[in-house]
Structure 1
Amino acid sequence: MRKLIESTFMSIDGVISSAEKWSAPYWDEEYSAYARELLFASDALLLGRETYEGFARSWPRLESVEGDYAVRMNTLPKYVASRTLTEATWNATIIKGDVPDEVAKLKQQPGQNILKFGTGELDTTLLEHRLVDEYHLWICPVVAGSGGRLLDGIDTTHLKLVKTTTFASGVVVLTYTPGDASQGR
């Protein structure tokens, strides 16, 4: 069974929106190596509509700059959860209808991990249906001050910390798996 991996940038005050505006100063060699490891351990991407549209506009132009990372981003199959998207042109399949059921089916297929980028309504759906196997939360040493926060409105959900990765830039990646408070620490 494939694992669904969530990779999300957030500020120390929990903001996830407009991460490209405040996370870019921390994109260094350690960041790139970690991101590369996640991407190359995956053979499919799961995206919401907004993330898909943003990536589809930028990644095809980045191959000359980003090399094999961009080639990998561009060639991996993408699954896009959307109620409004009618056409996908960037090597993507639109998931309409019962997103949790379709994602569960994707996870049952043979292959590597499914890497999920972006944040929003899809995160809530995936968490509520217990479909995420690992969360990689990239905490950037910045206070964003305002903006959307990861999983606002979700009921109390316990996770288990399985790994902490600290970069010289001050970024800390916290890796969690689903857990529960009754499990020993």
Structure 2
Amino acid sequence: MRKITAGLFISLDGVVEDPQDWHFPYFNDEMGAAVDSQLGAADTLLLGRSTYDSFAGAWPDREAAGGEDADFAKKLGDARKVVVSTQDLQLTWRNSEQLKGDLVEAVGELKNEPGATDIAMSGSVSVVRQLLAAGLLDELHLLVHPIAVRKGTRLFEEDDAPLPLRLVSSQTFTTGVVHLVYAGAESTPEGSYDDAKAHLPQNEDS
């Protein structure tokens, strides 16, 4: 079964909305390599409609322009792009198709299809939330920026149940961005202050 990974630019206070308004000053070679390894290397992309529309409105023109980002644009263009939407779409970007049927069922089937790489997501926050809740998202790649945006949609909505995660890896970039990779955890850790206080520093003279 193939893994699904989701990459998001996120602020220190959890905002993921409109990253183009605040994240570009932090984009360097380290972040470029992280994005390329998660998104650019994938042969299949799973995208929400808004993210797809944004990508389709920009990357084909960037590929055609032949600039510094043309190689990355070609990778995205060559990848199979599966778009999540409840509306009938007219998809103009090459190698694009719409996901049909129930999201959870259809994504489960997609994970079972053959492929050479992980299935990659970028943005698509509403889809990420649904797949996390269904246990279908295997890795969450968060590029945490050292800025509090203080407005906009946050990755995690309020809910009665916590969502336990397990840290897979971490890397700090020279810009102060921290690249955190999380996978789902089976259960929420349990403990009380009585458990925690044993780990406080002890005065040897007391």
TM over 0.5: yes
- Tell me if 1:162 matches 2:168: yes
2:44 maps to a residue whose letter is A
Distance 2:112 2:172 in 1: 32
Residue equivalent to 1:92: 96
Of 138-147 and 92-101, the range deviating more from structure 2: 92-101
In the TM superposition, 1:32-51 aligns within 5 A as: 32-51=32-51
1:96 maps to a residue whose letter is K
Given the alignment, which residue of 148, 153, 157 partners 1:148? 153
In the TM superposition, 1:22-41 aligns within 5 A as: 22-41=22-41
- Tell me if 1:123 matches 2:128: yes
Shift of 1:163: 0.3
Shift of 1:40: 4.3
Q: Secondary structure of 2:91's match?
A: coil
Distance 2:158 2:81 in 1: 27
Shift of 1:27: 1.1
Tell me if the contact between 1:49 and 1:85 (Cα under 8 Å) persists in the aligned partners.
no
Shift of 1:13: 0.6
Query: Which segments of structure 1 move beyond 2 Å, counting only runs of 4 or more?
Result: 180-183
Distance 2:189 2:156 in 1: 22
- Tell me if 1:107 matches 2:91: no
Cα deviation digits, residues 122-172 of structure 1 (max 9, x gap): 122111111100000110111101100002134311000010011101110
Distance 2:126 2:29 in 1: 31
Distance 2:85 2:70 in 1: 29
2:16 maps to a residue whose letter is I
1:176 maps to a residue whose letter is Y
Distance 1:151 1:80 in 2: 22
1:53 maps to a residue whose letter is D
Q: Which runs of 5+ in 1 are unaligned?
A: none
Q: Secondary structure of 1:42's match?
A: coil
Distance 2:54 2:88 in 1: 13
Distance 1:53 1:67 in 2: 18
Of 86-95 and 51-60, the range deviating more from structure 2: 86-95
Equivalent pairs, count: 183
Residue equivalent to 1:59: 59
Distance 2:59 2:91 in 1: 15
Residue equivalent to 2:18: 18
Relative to its length, the structure with more strand (as a share) is 1
Tell me if the contact between 2:9 and 2:144 (Cα under 8 Å) persists in the aligned partners.
yes
Percent of matched pairs sharing the same residue: 37
Of 22-31 and 78-87, the range deviating more from structure 2: 78-87
Tell me if the contact between 1:123 and 1:151 (Cα under 8 Å) persists in the aligned partners.
no
- Tell me if 1:74 matches 2:77: yes
Distance 2:162 2:99 in 1: 28
